[in-house]
């Protein structure tokens, strides 16, 4: 007995399996086989769609708001950060007072390599 059900995108084939033993009657077990090819095709179509429709973000620079000319604006020392740019793609920074940062060895270094990646050391 072979049953074949055909629908639009799938095919299910049911074939009976019989265990044969002398003198023992068993329940007929059906072997179910499902063709997954359409599901795999759909998965690859969705992956291709999302790969082609996504946009890779371009790196953007942050706007730096510079103070206008005039008297200095008072700021708490604990809320300040100082950046020191040097040659060879190196950037030093520290928070707070410079004397405290030097005394407590709190100056950090960031380098920029040829792969366009920042590395903190």
What is the predicted pLDDT for the residue at 44? 95
Q: Name the strands in the sheet holding 108-112, side by side, starting at the edge strand that comes first in the sequence.
A: 81-86, 90-95, 108-112, 118-120
Asked if residue 4 has pLDDT above 80, the reply is no
Residue-wise pLDDT for 105-118, tens only, equals 888 887 776 556 66
Position with higher pLDDT, 81 vs 24:
81
Across the chain, mean pLDDT equals: 76
What is the predicted pLDDT for the residue at 74? 81
Dihedrals phi, psi of 71, to nearest 5 degrees: -70, 150
What is the predicted pLDDT for the residue at 93? 87
pTM exceeds 0.75 for this model: no
> Residue 102: which of 82, 76, 79 has the closest Cα?
82
């Amino acid at each position: 007995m072979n049953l074949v059900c055909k629908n639009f995108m799938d095919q299910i084939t049911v074939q009976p399996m019989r265990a044969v033993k002398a003198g023992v009657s068993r329940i007929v077990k059906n072997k179910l086989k499902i063709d997954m090819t359409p599901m795999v095709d759909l998965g690859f179509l969705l992956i291709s769609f999302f790969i082609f429709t996504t946009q890779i973000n371009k790196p953007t620079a942050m706007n730096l708001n510079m103070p206008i000319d005039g008297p200095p604006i008072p700021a708490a020392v604990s809320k300040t950060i100082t950046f020191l740019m040097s040659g060879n793609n190196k950037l030093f920074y520290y928070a707070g007072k410079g004397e405290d940062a030097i005394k407590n060895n709190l100056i950090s270094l960031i380098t920029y390599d040829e792969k366009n990646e920042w590395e903190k050391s």
